Amino acid sequence: MSAPLFDPPTFSAYPLADCQAHQEEIHAALQEFLRGGSYILGPEVAAFEREFAQFVGASQAIGVANGTDAIEVLLRALEIGSGDAVAVPSHTAVASASGIARAGAQPIFVDIDPDTFTICPDALEELLKSSIGARVKAVLAVHLYGHPCDMKRLEEVARAHGVVLLEDCAQAHGAVSRGRSVGSLARAAAFSFYPTKNLGALGDGGAITTSDAALAEACRVVRQYGWKERYISASQGVNSRLDELQAALLRIKLRALPVGLRRRRQLAALYGSLLKGCPNLVTPVCRPECEHAYHLYVVRTPHRDGLTKHLLGKGIPAALHYPAAIHQQPGYTEVAALSPPLPSTETVVKEILTLPLHPYLDDAAVHYTCAVVREYLSA
């Protein structure tokens, strides 16, 4: 089921198309911001925090400067740092490990489920039973590409070993597991609003969500120098604050997020139907009782490198997310030596390929992409 090859359609640029779609509202918000005189932790941030918490299904949201900071601030608020370890998949954006390291803790890498690309509960259990497992104080479950982790099983493993379960939702705004949104499935969660995300700012931004009021307050203290009262640091905090302008823009985009999610899922379904039965290709799966947010549409093929070159040559903006797992990168050599074997991660990272998908992509672009993929893999 594929369309014949034809001249390449236009592949609209994201997030530029998202900005253009909300241009009038963004201009109005900018003018209001310039008139308002409040720039840091003002009424727009407070309003966004309330609205985003409600969207996620948590009682609290804490705006911070970016998603990496969200992880760091959360771990500092939990007093997880020097001498402690945090379990995290190696197949993720390096920000997941960077936030852990910046909090003073040691990332320890865990293998993934090769079907969903998310952290494998069985691999986590094996790690926690090992000698290094005693140092692990938390698990950072990354909902990679927008697919929710197996949170029920992860919660069972974490509870059995007395570790804190946390979520990294940087790529999963709007994903759902068992009727609940990611960001409300663990003790707390970290979000990124980097411009390319499903919910993206026009710059950097991030948030922590939790229904633990005491933890939320601790995060607010950490994000602003450790202040409980102005200019008096009760502890050593950081400077990580979501600014008023980004909060105002995120409020606009948050209202449109459900429509964007529906379109992402429509395009993913179209990809699935057009690529069904394509030789040497595995398309994304969605675990039962989950709703994928499709931040990225990532396929697997043993012919990844050749197919990538072919797609780019045909004007299709294919990409690799990510060309190397974190444990394979020079900056994390020492961490890799402490981590267990990661066979699924090392197989997957050589085969993954991201096909174009965002809410402003038209059907013709998907038809063309699928036809080019079939042309190459069927040859």
pLDDT tens-digit series, residues 146-188? 999 999 999 999 999 999 999 999 999 999 999 999 999 999 9
Looking at the DSSP assignment, which residues form a beta bridge with residue 299? 353
Q: Are 204 and 288 contained in the same domain? A: no
pLDDT number for residue 3: 46
Q: Are 284 and 180 contained in the same domain? A: no
**CATH at residue 206:** 3.40.640.10
Instruction: Indicate the pLDDT class of residue 7, thresholds 50, 70 and 90.
Output: confident
Task: List, for residues 238-293, the tens digit of each pLDDT value.
Answer: 999 999 999 999 999 999 999 999 999 999 999 999 999 999 999 999 999 999 99
pLDDT number for residue 6: 61
pLDDT, mean of residues 43-54: 98
* 177 is a domain residue: yes
Q: Are 52 and 171 contained in the same domain? A: yes
For residue 353, is pLDDT > 90?
yes
pLDDT number for residue 358: 98
* 211 is a domain residue: yes
| Residue spans of beta strands (DSSP E) within 90-161 | 106-110, 136-142
For residue 2, is pLDDT > 60?
no
Which DSSP string do the residues of 91-111 spell out, in sequence order?
Answer: SS-THHHHHHHHTT-EEEEE-
- Size of the chain in residues: 379
Q: Are 205 and 91 contained in the same domain? A: yes
pLDDT number for residue 1: 40
Instruction: Indicate the pLDDT class of residue 5, thresholds 50, 70 and 90.
Output: low
Q: Which two tokens stand for residue 304?
A: 């990844």
pLDDT, mean of residues 346-375: 98
Of 192, 225, 251, at which residue does a domain stop? Answer: 251
Q: Are 279 and 345 contained in the same domain? A: yes
Domain count, the chain: 2
pLDDT, mean of residues 100-122: 98
* 359 is a domain residue: yes
Q: Are 145 and 116 contained in the same domain? A: yes
Residue labelled with tokens 């966004």: 48
* 299 is a domain residue: yes
Q: Are 67 and 122 contained in the same domain? A: yes
pLDDT number for residue 379: 86
Q: By CB neighbour count within 10 A (0-12 exposed, 13-18 middle, 19+ buried), where does 24 fall?
A: exposed
* 165 is a domain residue: yes
Q: Peptide bond preceding 330: is omega within 30 degrees of 0, i.e. cis?
A: no
Task: List, for residues 115-141, the tens digit of each pLDDT value.
Answer: 999 999 999 999 999 999 999 999 999
| Residue spans of beta strands (DSSP E) within the chain | 60-64, 85-89, 106-110, 136-142, 164-168, 176-177, 180-181, 188-192, 206-210, 227-229, 232-233, 290-291, 297-300, 352-355
**CATH at residue 305:** 3.90.1150.10
Q: Are 171 and 145 contained in the same domain? A: yes
Q: Average per-residue pLDDT in the chain?
A: 96
Instruction: Indicate the pLDDT class of residue 8, thresholds 50, 70 and 90.
Output: confident
* 322 is a domain residue: yes
Q: Are 237 and 289 contained in the same domain? A: no
Q: Are 59 and 196 contained in the same domain? A: yes
* 6 is a domain residue: no
* 13 is a domain residue: no
Q: pLDDT over 90 for what percent of the chain?
A: 97
Of 212, 232, 251, at which residue does a domain stop? Answer: 251
Of 251, 280, 310, at which residue does a domain stop? Answer: 251
Q: Are 300 and 178 contained in the same domain? A: no
Q: Are 220 and 280 contained in the same domain? A: no
For residue 299, is pLDDT > 70?
yes
pLDDT, mean of residues 180-206: 98
Domain containing 301 equals 257-377
